[in-house]
Amino acid sequence: MCLAVPAKIIEKNDMMATVDVEGIQRKISLMLLPDAKKGDFVLMHAGFAIQTIDEQEANYTAQLLKEVAQNDNA
């Protein structure tokens, strides 16, 4: 199963971005989304931003992932 995680771009440098995922920052490639910009929300998979999404969808997806994680720990 593949999983894409919502992230917010907080810094962009050429085709690389620093993103925030629930307070954790990491660097990812923007090669698949060259028009993405600081402040955008993206779905990230395997170190790449693969799709832009709106903030509402990012929050909804993040909440679903939290619920799945809680159910796995129960």
Task: Delineate the domains of the chain, giving CATH numbers in brackets.
Answer: 5-73 (2.30.30.140)
Is the pLDDT at 3 greater than 70? The verdict is yes
Q: Give whole-number Cα distances, 62 to 11, 13, 22, 52, in Å.
A: 20, 25, 8, 15
Q: What pTM value is reported for the model? A: 0.87
What is the Cα Rg of the chain in Å? 12
The string of pLDDT tens digits covering residues 33-51 is 999 999 999 999 999 999 9
Contact 58, 30 (CB under 8 A): no
